[in-house]
Amino acid sequence: MPLNLSDIHPLSDFQRSAKTFLATLRQTQAPMVLTVNGKAAVVVQSAESYQRLLERVEQLEVMAGLRQSLEEFDQGLGMPLDKAFQRFNQQHDIPN
């Protein structure tokens, strides 16, 4: 979700009306930019929207890892599944 550039507020306003700002953050689920001396200083967001962001990042990392694995396999860098299981079992002392 991109930042809404119209949702920029001075940190001092946030401090004076924290409860109102927190209610807005929970309701909109959108991040908010807070400024200090007219310059962007921090981005705040609800805990729920932050958790969703972390979950999306994790999904993207998994997808990138899978994509890299497929590319490596296509380049002949992989190994057959039975050989991979055999190596795994040997490394972890798992009997056949």
Question: Which residues, 6 or more positions from 49, have their beta carbon under 8 angstroms from its beta carbon?
Answer: 1, 25, 29, 30, 31
pTM: 0.68
CB of 63 closer than 8 Å to CB of 78: no
Confidence (pLDDT) at 1: 60
Mean predicted confidence (pLDDT) in 42-62: 96
pLDDT category at 31 given cuts 50, 70, 90 is: very high
Average pLDDT, the chain: 92
Question: Which residues, 6 or more positions from 53, have their beta carbon under 8 angstroms from its beta carbon?
Answer: 45
Q: Is the per-residue pLDDT at 6 higher than 80?
A: no
Quick one: what percent of the chain has pLDDT higher than 90? 74
Confidence (pLDDT) at 5: 67
